[in-house]
Amino acid sequence: MVFRCRARGLTPRIFTSLICLLLTLMFLGPALLQQTGLELRELIFIAPAQWPKDRGTASCTTSASASIPAAPESPPGSAPYLPAAKLMCRPLAPDLTSIPKLIHQSWKTTQLPAKFEQWSRTCREKHPDWEWVLWTDEDNLELVRRYFPWLVDTYVSLPGDIYRVDLARNLYMYLFGGVYLDLDTECLQPVSSALSSVNVPITDSTSPTSTNPPRQAAVFGRMGSNTSSPHSIPNAWMASTPGHPFFLAPLVSARAEIAKSRNLLQRPWYDYPSAEEMTGPTPCAKEFYRTKPLG
């Protein structure tokens, strides 16, 4: 077992009781998804490697760096904390063939509750040569504004923070790659022990150089064997090379859902689409099975 879930208590999510099972089964059947010409009929985009070198970094200034919030404690011998603001000020690496050593997690602020800090620390300690990014709600909004201006209206129109954080993790994977972990994940082994089984290279940095062959990959877990379940491909754990087009599909799906539900706030609370249905594991699984998974 690579990861273990810890109970997170009551949350706004409907399927909280499934989370521990999800993280236990995640690597019993990893699925490797190569780029397969995913159709994004509603969106024209340019791959990150072809973006201007200052895309997203043009607004980075000394004053902006000075406003970076206080860093969470990072124990010696563990993955150092990389503020999201600094990551967003790095040029996007055109190496789209290796998984960079970035661990992405998300919380409202940089001050984690004690239980999440404890479990997150197990992952940082297992990956001392990785970098750890803790995205806040403020960081997520800035990420959307900077790199996905066409998505801002959809993002701010979502009916709650849980919808937005579910959507934002796709942006981490698409822009930067690395590994995303929910905060109720306890790491028992380094993630490389799981990724080695699917033969996806891991790179030591996000530097803009690469001699790797042109091969992109994204790795997901499977929750059980029922492919008709809307939670069969969860988004609580994901790993990817940067720029994989799969992660644009949930953005398009959310935008279409918002377009259909402009009167969302006028509907009764029990008629809201859940976060799982709109931006979470349901669109993730749906788009996964629309493509050609390997393994």
DSSP output for 40-52: -TT-----GGGS-
More confident of the two residues 143 and 263: 143
Across the range 49-73, mean pLDDT stands at 56
CATH of domain 27-35+81-294: 3.90.550
Average pLDDT, the chain: 72
**Residues 25-59: tens digit of each pLDDT:** 333 344 545 444 444 333 334 445 445 555 555 56
Q: Please determine, for residue 271, whether its predicted confidence score (pLDDT) is greater than 80.
A: no
More confident residue, 102 or 187: 102
Model pLDDT, residue 225? 67
pLDDT in tens, 193-244: 878 777 777 876 555 444 444 567 887 777 666 666 666 677 778 888 898 8
pLDDT at 251: 79
Considering 117-126, 159-168, 256-265, the range whose residues carry the highest mean pLDDT is: 117-126
Best-predicted range by mean pLDDT among 6-20, 121-135, 208-222? 121-135
Whole-number Å distance between alpha carbons of 105 and 3: 15
C-alpha span between 293 and 149 (Å, rounded) = 30
Domain positions in the chain are 27-35+81-294
Residue pointed to by tokens 């001050």? 111
Q: Residue 16 — very low, low, confident or very high, per pLDDT cuts 50/70/90?
A: very low
Among candidates 132, 275, 87, 107, which has minimal Cα distance to 183? 107
pLDDT value of position 220: 73
Q: 79 falls in which pLDDT band (50, 70, 90)?
A: very high
pTM value is 0.77
Q: Would you state the pLDDT for residue 253?
A: 75
Q: How many residues are listed for the chain in this entry?
A: 295
d(CA 191, CA 6): 18
Model confidence at 73: pLDDT above 90: no
pLDDT at 161 over 50: yes
Task: Answer whether residue 192 shows pLDDT above 90.
Answer: no
3-state secondary structure 106-145: ECCCCCCCHHHHHHHHHHHHHCCCCEEEEECHHHHHHHHH
User: Do the beta carbons of residue 62 and residue 246 sit within 8 Å?
Assistant: no
The mean pLDDT of 93-120, rounded to a whole number, is 90
